[in-house]
């Protein structure tokens, strides 16, 4: 889930398990949502996106679910691998459709 303080929430999973990272967004009028992965000291890397006219979108090993009723977004990672260890951010478009509003992130730790 999203952090309300300075410490990122951490999700610890075993290698091979499925991971679910959750995100609550703020603007019911948002039309576009995106998940990024950020490794330490690097820029965020695109994972998957979804538009408001969809409830679910699948990529390679990842699935994003959008529940507009409760303004909730989730990222599911199948068969989590050590290389998946990173901080994951959800983001929603700002009103003009250009810049993004980011959540505070969730740290995913994959243990052997």
Partner 1 sequence: DGGITQSPKYLFRKEGQNVTLSCEQNLNHDAMYWYRQDPGQGLRLIYYSQIVNDFQKGDIAEGYSVSREKKESFPLTVTSAQKNPTAFYLCATGGSSYNEQFFGPGTRLTVL
Question: What sign results for the dihedral spanned by CA atoms 58, 62, 63, 68?
Answer: negative
- Binds partner 1 (CB under 8 A): choice among 32, 71, 76, 78: 32
Nearest one of 18, 17, 4, 20 to 65, comparing CA atoms: 20
Question: Are the C-beta atoms of residues 101 and 35 closer than 8 Å to each other?
Answer: no
**CA separation for the pair 48, 21 (Å, rounded):** 13
Contact window for partner 1 (CB under 8 A) among 12-20, 32-40, 54-62, 72-80:
32-40
- Binds partner 1 (CB under 8 A): choice among 4, 46, 60, 70: 46
Instruction: Establish if 49 lies at the interface with partner 1 (CB under 8 A).
Output: yes
Nearer to partner 1 (CB atom), residue 8 or residue 13 = 8
Question: Are the C-beta atoms of residues 104 and 3 closer than 8 Å to each other?
Answer: yes
Contact window for partner 1 (CB under 8 A) among 13-21, 40-48, 60-68, 76-84:
40-48
Instruction: Establish if 104 lies at the interface with partner 1 (CB under 8 A).
Output: yes
From its phi and psi, is residue 4 left (phi > 0), alpha (psi between -120 and 50) or beta? alpha
Instruction: Establish if 99 lies at the interface with partner 1 (CB under 8 A).
Output: yes
Interface with partner 1 (CB under 8 A):
3, 6-8, 31-32, 34, 36, 41-46, 49, 51, 89, 91, 93-94, 96-105
């Amino acid at each position: 889930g999203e952090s309300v303080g300075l410490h990122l929430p951490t999700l610890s999973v075993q290698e091979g398990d499925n991971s679910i990272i959750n995100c609550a967004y703020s603007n019911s009028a948002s039309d576009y949502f995106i998940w990024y992965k950020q490794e330490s000291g690097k820029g965020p890397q695109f994972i998957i996106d979804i538009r408001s006219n969809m409830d679910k979108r699948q990529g390679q090993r990842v699935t994003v679910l959008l529940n507009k009723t409760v303004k909730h977004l989730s990222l599911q990672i199948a068969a989590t691998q050590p290389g998946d260890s990173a901080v994951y951010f959800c983001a929603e478009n700002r009103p003009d459709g250009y810049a993004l509003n980011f959540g505070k992130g969730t740290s995913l730790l994959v243990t052997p």
